[in-house]
Amino acid sequence: MPLTAYSISHSGELDVEQTLHQLSAQFGVPYTSVDSIPEVWRDYLRIDLQCPSCFVTGAEVVRSTTKKTGKASRQSFFRFTTPGHKPHCDFGSPETANAIPENLVSLTESKSKLTRAVRELVCTGIEQGIFSQVSIRNMREWFFNTKVESLFVVTLDPQLYAWISVLRENTFLSSLGLPAGVALTPEIAALPQFDWRAEAARRVMERYPQHEANMKAITDQRIIGMFSPAGRRAEALTQRFQGRSVFDPTVLSDEYRKTCALADFIGRNYAPLKAARGNSGTESVLAFAALLLFIRDWDIGQAISDFVKIVAAVGRANQDLGNVMGLNPFHDYEAWRILKQLQGLNIAVPENIDIKAERMAMEAALRKQFGAPPMPV
């Protein structure tokens, strides 16, 4: 249930109030409120408006609600009930009513200087004829079609992240223990700096050769960033979408690489963005970079040329042209990449195995066997 809809007749995206004011001017009938929309207008909207994600028609207007204080609690939005949203539409759930899906970027008024700077670039690009709201609409349709053709079911065990984290720690510690085949003697145990924890970790890993092989598989697959914020996000996505069909963004790996490169170039070569630290990774900059590439069939050279033209004309554009919803097709790309790679390894989380507890028990037993001081509390 989106806040905006794409108008076929106006070749642009409008919210409820903008739509109804347009109809008022078109039909020559004063617009008073959502509750008093003429039936002829409603018939027109069902044909003219498209969902901004899956592009079905059949729009209905849902009025805003207010709290007892008189403050709006929900903005007016559109509902598409006949025939309804297509499967996997970003607006196909009641949860999206009066909300913006994570992969869309609102370029309307914002307190963020960075978002306002991107809005200025978008307004200028539209006014210069480099792209249009139709271009933005076509990009979203391309993405939706790509998404529904590239789905996979999340079957990864959410407990795998915690298990691998413990296994990773133990694998590292075991590498600091005695070399394989070297026996622990009283003389070695008497070394003042002998690492009991590392030796215990090594012995625990010897109990579970399959888990050591799993850790090697993770390393060999180069699952970069698993223990970074993207990895933690992947864990959250695994829990959230367990058993559900989701988009596999890794099918757009080439497009993603080019978008990141262009976003970085834009961030370093446009003063309002350069002033913001880490600007190239923001949703709005990535959405703008992806749009420039999309209209040029992902030719980064031509996209940079368009960006240069836009920057040269910045400052003269009509700001109303920026009332659009941009698309970042690479939202959570790194997290989904990590999730997909881990799922492809088919690693089962073992039951009734507590690596950390076993390591601590092993260390305590070794210390007792060789008369070393007990483990520090």
Q: 229 and 362 share a domain? A: yes
- Total residues found in the chain within this entry: 377
Dihedral sign from CA coordinates of 201, 202, 204, 209 = positive
- Domain stops at, among 101, 131, 151: 101
pTM of the model: 0.84
* 3-class secondary structure, 325: strand
Q: 227 and 352 share a domain? A: yes
Q: 67 and 203 share a domain? A: no
Task: Answer whether residue 215 is part of any domain.
Answer: yes
Q: What are the C-alpha distances in Å from 96 to residues 70, 102, 119, 163, 313? A: 23, 10, 24, 34, 36
CB 231 within 8 A of CB 161: yes
Task: Answer whether residue 309 is part of any domain.
Answer: no
Task: Answer whether residue 56 is part of any domain.
Answer: yes
pLDDT per residue, tens digit, the chain (377 aa), is 788 899 999 888 888 888 998 888 888 888 877 778 889 999 999 999 999 899 999 999 988 765 555 555 567 889 998 889 999 898 887 665 566 788 888 777 666 788 888 999 999 999 999 999 899 999 999 999 999 999 999 999 999 998 888 888 998 999 999 998 899 999 999 999 999 999 999 999 988 888 878 877 777 766 778 888 999 999 999 999 999 999 999 999 999 999 999 999 999 999 998 876 555 568 899 999 999 999 999 999 999 999 999 999 998 888 778 777 789 999 999 999 999 999 998 888 888 889 999 999 999 999 999 999 998 87
pLDDT for res 104: 85
Give residue-wise pLDDT tens across range 45-102.
999 999 989 999 999 998 876 555 555 556 788 999 888 999 989 888 766 556 678 8
Q: 224 and 364 share a domain? A: yes
Q: 69 and 196 share a domain? A: no
Q: Which amino acid is at 114?
A: L
Contacts with 260 (C-beta within 8 Å, 6 or more apart), sequence order? 280, 286, 289, 330
Q: 78 and 212 share a domain? A: no
Q: Is 161 exposed, middle or buried (0-12, 13-18, 19+ CB in 10 A)?
A: buried
Q: For residue 218, give its domain range.
A: 160-242+347-369
Task: Answer whether residue 155 is part of any domain.
Answer: no
What percent of the residues of the chain are helix, what percent strand, and what percent coil, each to the nearest 5? 55, 10, 35
What is the number of domains present in the chain?
2
- Domain stops at, among 83, 101, 119: 101
Task: Answer whether residue 46 is part of any domain.
Answer: yes
How far is 289 from 260, CA to CA, in rounded Å? 8
Strand partners, 105: 326
Contacts with 158 (C-beta within 8 Å, 6 or more apart), sequence order? 235, 238, 239, 242
Task: Answer whether residue 152 is part of any domain.
Answer: no
Task: Answer whether residue 300 is part of any domain.
Answer: no
Q: 3 and 76 share a domain? A: yes
Enter the tokens of residue 165: 């984290």
Task: State how far Cα 59 lies from the chain centre.
Answer: 28
- Domain stops at, among 70, 101, 132: 101
